[in-house]
Amino acid sequence: MKVLGIESSCDETGVAVYDTEAGLLSERLYSQVAMHAEYGGVVPELASRDHIRKLVPLVREALSDAGLTLNDLDGIAYTSGPGLIGALMVGASVGRTMAWSLNIPALAVHHMEGHLLAPMLEDSAPEFPFVALLVSGGHTMLVQVKAVGDYVILGESVDDAVGEAFDKTAKMLGLSYPGGPELAKLAEQGVPGEYKFPRPMVNRPGLDFSFSGLKTAALQAWNQSAQTPEDKANIAHAFQEAVVDTLAIKCDRALKQTGYQRMVVAGGVGANKRLRAKLDELRAEVFFPRQAFCTDNGAMIAYAGALRLAAGQFEPATISPKPRWSLETLTVLPDAV
Ligand code: KG4
Ligand code: ZN
């Protein structure tokens, strides 16, 4: 079954073709990062308009890369939430309309399910069950994954998402947008031990996170420093250590609580090298998708959609994108993989 996947939940337009027999056939991505950089963050209306401009040309390119025409497609999967409503509307309208005109099924995909199944696109795919750490610009979550669609949220951030905390701290230190990767780069030059920030909520039971206090601690340290390049790098280092340590402590706790020995890391912050190194120290098998599958992309949507379409799921010819949508409400696909 050949499925076209469309991702347009935030500031990346992603398109891919996944074949349930041959694997990923093609993938195209357009990032709006440069456009939003001027404003220091994603401007929702500009994001929607840019998805409109880029989506159809990307679909043409992805099909041509795969050596296919529209008539070769057996299904279409598009991100239906969570995300920016205007941006989601673009992918949903294009995807659903194409499916209707081609008389093939369409499927609304949960963006976070896409992220947590992304490691399955790799040759060494994890088996179920596992614990997933989802760390992106909008979400920080630990999820117990028993099967496709069988998800229990073990913990999540009560305030800023981890990527958001990276971005806000980076902005405050004067780094360019999006600041997460910039801050991570600067942290490599920092001297360990010059600053020490708290590991929020680790002394309390449970698996929830809180990152906004850490951002404030970094701001205070910066304001009280001489604001030299060394101070900046040292604060970036201490901030990253605090975040990574906190995530690792909670991951360890989630593995113990579930009794699982397998973990999957997904979402943009999953690209962070220090986080990868730290999680590799856990007593578990840890799977990281390649960087391009960590950040938003069409391949993960094509894949998640293909699993569900291949299992016979389809939807009526209507769209209902959801800016908020709980992972725990998805239908379970026990024998999908
Ligand atoms: O999953 P993603 O591409 O988009 C969302 O769905 O949010 O994640 C983007 C987030 C941004 O906050 C970005 O700063 C962060 O991931 N990020 C990083 C790194 N690379 C991306 N944060 C820390 N270290 C990195 N190397
Ligand atoms: Zn994402």
Residues within 5 A (CB) of ion ligand 2: 136, 296
At 272, is the pLDDT very low, low, confident or very high (cuts 50, 70, 90)?
very high
Query: Are 52 and 91 contacting, i.e. CB atoms less than 8 angstroms apart?
Result: no
Q: Is the pLDDT of residue 26 over 80?
A: yes
At 334, is the pLDDT very low, low, confident or very high (cuts 50, 70, 90)?
low
Residue 251 three-state SS:
helix
Enumerate residues lining ligand 1, CB below 6 A. Answer: 10, 136-138, 163, 166-167, 178, 180-181, 184, 267-269, 271-272, 295-296
pLDDT score for 246: 98
Residue 151 three-state SS:
strand
Nearest to 203 by CA among 253, 269, 142: 253
Query: Are 106 and 321 contacting, i.e. CB atoms less than 8 angstroms apart?
Result: no
pLDDT score for 287: 96
Lowest mean pLDDT among 36-40, 95-99, 237-241, 261-265: 36-40
Examine residue 229 and say whether the peptide bond preceding it is cis (omega within 30 degrees of 0).
Answer: no
Query: Are 207 and 154 contacting, i.e. CB atoms less than 8 angstroms apart?
Result: yes
11 CA from centroid of ligand 2 (Å): 10
97 CA from centroid of ligand 1 (Å): 31
Give me the residue label for tokens 């593995």.
255
| pLDDT per position as a tens digit, 81-98 | 999 999 999 999 999 999
pLDDT score for 337: 45
Q: How far apart are CA 235 and CA 218, in angstroms?
A: 7
Q: How large is the average pLDDT for residues 264-292?
A: 95
Q: Is the pLDDT of residue 336 over 80?
A: no
146 CA from centroid of ligand 1 (Å): 26
Give the residue, out of 160, 214, 240, 295, with the most ligand 1 atoms within 8 A of its beta carbon, to mutate for a pocket test. Answer: 295
Q: Is the pLDDT of residue 235 over 90?
A: yes
pLDDT score for 72: 98
Percent residues over pLDDT 90 in the chain: 96
pLDDT score for 178: 86
Q: Is the pLDDT of residue 218 over 80?
A: yes
Helix (H) or strand (E) holding 255: helix 229-258
335 CA from centroid of ligand 2 (Å): 26
| pLDDT per position as a tens digit, 32-74 | 999 999 998 899 999 999 999 999 999 999 999 999 999 999 9
Q: How far apart are CA 73 and CA 55, in angstroms?
A: 17
Burial class (CB in 10 A: 0-12, 13-18, 19+), 26: buried
Local structure of residue 105 (DSSP, 8 states) = -
Number of helical (H) and strand (E) elements in the chain, helices listed first: 11, 10
Helix (H) or strand (E) holding 143: strand 140-147
pLDDT score for 149: 97
Q: What is the pTM of this model?
A: 0.94
| pLDDT per position as a tens digit, 160-212 | 999 999 999 999 999 998 899 999 999 999 999 999 999 999 998 999 999 99
Residues contacting 40, CB < 8 A, separation 6+: 171, 177
